[in-house]
Amino acid sequence: MTPPPARSPDAAQSFIEGTDFVWHERFELAEGVYAPGAHDLDYLFEAAEVPLDLTRKSVLDIGTANGGAAFVCERRGAAPVVAIDIYPPDWFGFDAIRAFLGSSVEYVTGNVYALGSLLSREFDLILFWGVLYHLRHPLLALDAVRAAVADGGEISIETAVSDDALGDVAGAPVARFYRGPELGGDSSNWFAPSTTCLVDWCESSGLRVKRTHVWGEGDMKRAMVAVETTVGDPEYLSASYEVPLTASPADHDVRSWRG
């Protein structure tokens, strides 16, 4: 599939000035014109070592927000590209940005725990950025994401990590739980694992860690891991009496608790 045509810098600037949704991501809309979000996708793509050429690769972007990562992958030749978030597509302007860019990225409204019922295919590359620490059930989410990647595919996971907050136990496989808005003033942040814990979560879930990149400090410390599925059942199945679980999240209109 041919990537969408480039838009002019003037048109992109006018588009940004005319929007009224929240820009979470910084990514190039047109040559030299970047969306005004705080999260620099150029940095994340470099940290994740995502190839510049994604021709013939299918991509799933989980927690897409403005859709920046999905649109960048499409621009790099990926197809199909599917973006998923719990919000409707107008919440962070995904539908408006898609129309402006002339994009073919598909949007799915849904929850990461329910990927199996929401998707009709597996993906060569899954971007799972900025989501894990927002989840009350991170291991269940990793199980769902593992089931969505194609054989030989890769999952890129980026999350807040609590290494600096843990002091002497920073190197241990432990996670910090946030009952309220202690992390970044956001009460939707629940768990920040140590980097060691993140790696162990992945390995236990049948996701072999290939690369790890850590940056930042304090509450802003982040980690990125690139993982691939292990052969056979996930490790935890041989170490526990647990059986694999799937979730069917209750219907819930996010508008009722987000304004």
Query: For all residues of the chain together, what is the average pLDDT?
Result: 94
Pick the CATH number of 9-256 from 3.40.50.280, 3.20.20.70, 3.40.50.150, 3.30.70.1450: 3.40.50.150
Map tokens 């009952």 to a residue.
179
Instruction: Note whether 225 and 215 are within 8 A (CB).
Output: no
Measured distance CA(50)–CA(59) in Å, rounded: 11
pLDDT digits (tens, 9 = 90+) for 32-53: 999 999 999 999 999 999 999 9
Instruction: Note whether 195 and 212 are within 8 A (CB).
Output: yes
pLDDT digits (tens, 9 = 90+) for 178-196: 999 999 999 999 999 999 9
